[in-house]
Amino acid sequence: MANKAPFKTTFEATEVIRPIFTGGAVALENGARILATTLGEDAVLTDIKTGKHITTVEGDGEQISTLTLTPSGSHLIICSRSQSMRIYSLKKTSDSIEAQLVRTLKPHTTPVLVLAVDRTSTLLATGGTDGSIKVWDINGGYVTHTFRGPSVLVSALHFFELAEGSMKSLETDARKKKKSKDGIDVEDEEVPSTARFRLASGSQDGKVRIWDLHKRSVVANLDSHVSDVRAIDYSPTQNTLVTAGRDKTIRWWDTKSWKVRKVTPCFELVEAAGFIGNGQLSYTAGSNGRLRIWNTENGHELTKEQTPSPEIEAFVGGLYRPELPFIVCLQVDHTLSLYDVPSDAHTSSQIPPPEPFRRISGTHDDIIDLRYLLPDHSALALATNSEDIRIVSVTEPKPGSQPLVSSEYFGQDIALLKGHEDIILSLDVDWSGHWVATGAKDREAKLWRVDPANNSYTCWATFSGHAESVTAVALPRSRPVEGSKAYTDPLNHPPSFMITGSSDQTIKKWEIPREPLQGAKTSIRAVYTRKAHDKDINAIDINHQSRLFASASQDKTVKIWSVEEGEVQGILRGHRRGVWSVSFAPPIMPVLQGEQGSVAGKGVILTGSGDKTLKLWNLADYTCIRTFEGHSHTVLKVAWLNVPPPEERSKKPILCASAGGDGLVKLWDANNGENDCTLDNHEDRVWALAVHPDTNMIVSGSGDSTVSFWKDTSSETQTATNEAALKRIEQEQELENYEYVGAYREAITMALQLNHPRKLQSLFERVVNSKTPDAGSYSGLKAVDEVLGSLSDDQLFLLLLRLRDWNTNARTAPMAQRILWALVKSYPASRFSSLNVKGARGQKSLKEVLNALKVYTERHYKRMEELVEESFLVEYTLQEMDSLAPALTSMRLVGNGDGDVVMTS
């Protein structure tokens, strides 16, 4: 019986690529493992080495204004627009980190926009928008210093300790003999250890102030910048302070005299600057989107001339300390670029323009479309509401395996396909996964060649000709003949053609050149152009024989075309709203059962529409075979899952998937139209859907910036269900055996485990009504008392539920009261009040159960009291009857001759 459990389709979200950064502050500890980033109102901790999500620290309902980590990684400090500052202690284990809130403070009367922590991880500086600066003891949570400057926003803070050379004059002055007012000599004073501690602050007015933490006063006013000071750093080996700001200059200061050593114009808004290594090199990052290296001694730029990056790639911040192995730069598009640190050997030589060795996408924005790449499907191409295609790794590094894409963790950014000038709306991939077609709002389609083995990601050709946005692209998926050059060397044999559709209501077929086209003047003419629909074209799909293609439009129709001639073969009418997606059935599709008989699997096509339905169509007569209903919003994407092998088709269904505006992914049985499974892991509409050709893994991309990977666990679920059913049968038989031999202790324990209320009731009734109860037993048998006295929280709560039900019935109430009495005698009252019940409504449910037991118990006792009172009346009536009736001893029985017997006195 266990082997006949019905097959159930199940999928589980095993991996999620989620946003980690949406602008604001980022922080790293010295170990370069924990990366803290701002995600709206929350803070996210990520392991930068493995890319794994560590934890999310929920916010207080207001946007985070800034955050930082202590260099030791012991604390996380978060400030928000609510003017609160929360300090979290980070408890590290081998595989996780737990953030525990230590205290919440209100540091300023205005929001805090900048934080700084000293190298010992004990002092914290906060700068408010009102110009005040406070220094805090992190462990104690109290203020140690308060510095008040002009009422101008504090834009930069930096702790440092003066080098020995800079302290000579201070030590000399401190050791001079001082005379008191009475003329008495005072002993030499030692310079305290805190005398070297300084805090540098930069303001929006361009002024830099140096605060002495020992004297609690300003020791230097560096008045040189004319705009926001965005970066401050100190080099003890060079005795130099560097400052940079939005006045497009970098300034190096001598910390002995606090005079300017060098002023260098950099012709860009500088957002980050600092020293590298022992201070001989300095770096800057700014609005040009390029990392620049400078010679600290003479202020000359060492990097070769670099062309400015697009505005969206401009840097808005940076992060570096000598303890870190790389420089982190933050881009406008929320990308974190990691650069190698140049060595001090470059102080006199030119440095090639630095390129990031890794990019971390803070957020992918809306996921509009996605596809698997490469023959081993180890990468994923994402269209992310931007002008670029992002390629990410979707494989975990495993020993012994050599994927085509080498990456350190799942979801790592591999490359960007740059070339479009406006948002990319659609993409498609050929059979090999090496060729990617894209269509964008810039009215162009492009073909890309993806070769990660040689780190080559190039645009092969550009197709211009549409009058409006290119909203749909499609490449042929038919495989070349095995053994042919196109099959063995797909990188040098691009697809033969491409079909595009546009908001201009036309479709075009393009022949793809055999050689890459270089230069903007090179143009490609379309093989044919057809006026296809009356409204925008949303999707195009080519069948696996590359003979037909389908176009779906907002005009509620889908048209089937011949690839060769570009002529309409049929029109699918039936949807009540625009059609968003279309997909031909796989080539090995078996015969499907329609409402009007069998249909050849190869001749069907699936569509999804704004009318919230999917439809399955017969290409033989262009009629609707079946309609799938279940989504509560527009169906935005449809896809076929892998067809089960012939030997498994009797138990495994033929499935198709749909993604909707309701944020759900639904799986449907193509033969009966039923919804087999619903996948829910998104908070916004799901635009994109793809299926792994080998593992059947479903990938869904949503407007909430997440990509979910759904693993097919149907076989595992079936195996687990069969094993659970077999185990239950064995346990039920074991329960019957215990009951048969009278082993009540084991039988009651097993009945509780199996949640058999009827069997449990029968066992308790036998125990309570036993003719030979054990002396001193609460329930009737001491063995049962031991079972009742050793229940877990879950078992105790389950038994209370059963007692509540039995207590409502007058027939079973005596047994329930006896068992309840045994429980009350076995446990203190605190055990019932502190039961750890699972579920969000656990404690509320426990309260309801105990209240129900109390109410019905009081009702039973009230009924007993009424019966006792009524028994007094019966007893009184009998006594009165005895006093009024004659004594039986004076009465005798006499026959009257008629056969009757009468009583006479």
pLDDT tens-digit profile of 700-718?
A: 999 999 999 999 998 888 7
Give the pLDDT score at 286: 95
Q: What mean pLDDT comes out for the span 527-532?
A: 95
Share of the chain above pLDDT 90, in %: 54
pLDDT tens for 264-311 read: 999 999 999 999 988 899 999 999 999 999 999 999 999 998 999 989
From residue 352, give the alpha-carbon distance in Å to each of 75, 290, 343.
38, 12, 13
State which amino acid sits at residue 276. Answer: I
Q: Helix or strand or coil: residue 95?
A: coil
Residue 840 has pLDDT above 60, yes or no: no
Which range among 35-44, 595-604, 635-644, 804-813 shows the weakest confidence by mean pLDDT? 595-604
Q: Give the distance from CA 41 to its chain's centroid.
A: 15
CA-closest candidate to residue 700, choices 370, 307, 464, 230: 370
pLDDT tens for 227-248 read: 999 999 999 999 999 999 999 9
Neighbours of 84 (CB within 10 A): 17
Give the pLDDT score at 31: 84
**Which residue has 């949807």 as its token pair?**
575
Q: Give the distance from CA 205 to its chain's centroid.
A: 41
Residue 732 has pLDDT above 50, yes or no: yes
**pTM confidence score:** 0.80
Distance from C-alpha of 700 to C-alpha of 783, rounded to nearest angstrom:
56
Distance from C-alpha of 449 to C-alpha of 312, rounded to nearest angstrom:
24
Q: Helix or strand or coil: residue 202?
A: strand
Contact 499, 549 (CB under 8 A): yes
Contact 787, 749 (CB under 8 A): yes
Q: Helix or strand or coil: residue 472?
A: strand
Give the pLDDT score at 521: 52
pLDDT tens for 863-897 read: 888 888 888 888 888 888 888 766 555 666 666 66
Residue 176 has pLDDT above 90, yes or no: no
What's the number of CA atoms in the CB half-sphere (13 Å) around residue 397? 8
Question: What H or E segment, with its residue span, contains residue 335?
Answer: strand 335-340
Q: What mean pLDDT comes out for the span 763-775?
A: 82
Neighbours of 4 (CB within 10 A): 7
Q: Which residues pair with 540 in a beta bridge?
A: 551
* Model confidence band, residue 900 (pLDDT cutoffs 50, 70, 90): low
pLDDT tens for 211-222 read: 999 999 999 999
Give the pLDDT score at 591: 81
Give the pLDDT score at 398: 63
Distance from C-alpha of 604 to C-alpha of 622, rounded to nearest angstrom:
9
Q: What mean pLDDT comes out for the span 347-367?
A: 87
Distance from C-alpha of 204 to C-alpha of 230, rounded to nearest angstrom:
9
* Model confidence band, residue 532 (pLDDT cutoffs 50, 70, 90): very high
* Model confidence band, residue 180 (pLDDT cutoffs 50, 70, 90): very low
Radius of gyration of the chain (CA): 40
Tokens of 400: 């012994």
From residue 334, give the alpha-carbon distance in Å to each of 38, 286, 358, 583, 659.
10, 14, 14, 34, 27
Distance from C-alpha of 744 to C-alpha of 447, rounded to nearest angstrom:
75
Give the pLDDT score at 754: 78
Residue 400 has pLDDT above 60, yes or no: no
Q: What mean pLDDT comes out for the span 331-345?
A: 88
Distance from C-alpha of 618 to C-alpha of 576, rounded to nearest angstrom:
18
- For β-strands 358-361 and 335-340, DSSP reports them as antiparallel
Residue 182, class by beta-carbon neighbours within 10 Å (0-12 exposed, 13-18 middle, 19+ buried)? exposed
Residues in the chain: 905
Residues 6+ apart with CB under 8 A from 692: 372, 377, 698, 699
- For β-strands 686-691 and 623-629, DSSP reports them as unpaired
Residues 6+ apart with CB under 8 A from 451: 434, 457, 491
635 vs 813 pLDDT, higher one: 635
- For β-strands 249-254 and 259-265, DSSP reports them as antiparallel
Q: Helix or strand or coil: residue 342?
A: coil
Residue 327 has pLDDT above 90, yes or no: yes
* Model confidence band, residue 781 (pLDDT cutoffs 50, 70, 90): confident
100 vs 791 pLDDT, higher one: 100
Whole-number average pLDDT of the chain: 87
pLDDT tens for 121-169 read: 999 999 999 999 999 999 999 999 999 888 899 999 999 998 876 655 5
Share of the chain above pLDDT 70, in %: 90
Which range among 82-96, 140-154, 513-527 shows the weakest confidence by mean pLDDT? 513-527
* Model confidence band, residue 181 (pLDDT cutoffs 50, 70, 90): very low
Roughly how many angstroms between the first and final C-alpha of the chain, as a whole number? 79
Contact 58, 45 (CB under 8 A): no
Q: What single string gives the DSSP state of each residue in 787-853?
A: HHTT--HHHHHHHHHHHHHHHTSTTTHHHHHHHHHHHHHHS-HHHHHT----STTHHHHHHHHHHHH
Which range among 99-108, 638-647, 840-849 shows the weakest confidence by mean pLDDT? 840-849
Give the pLDDT score at 834: 76
Residue 204 has pLDDT above 90, yes or no: yes
Neighbours of 400 (CB within 10 A): 4
pLDDT tens for 426-478 read: 999 999 999 999 999 999 999 999 998 888 999 999 999 999 999 999 999 88
Question: What H or E segment, with its residue span, contains residue 486?
Answer: helix 485-488
Strands (E), 557-654: 557-562, 568-573, 579-584, 592-594, 597-599, 604-609, 613-618, 623-629, 635-640
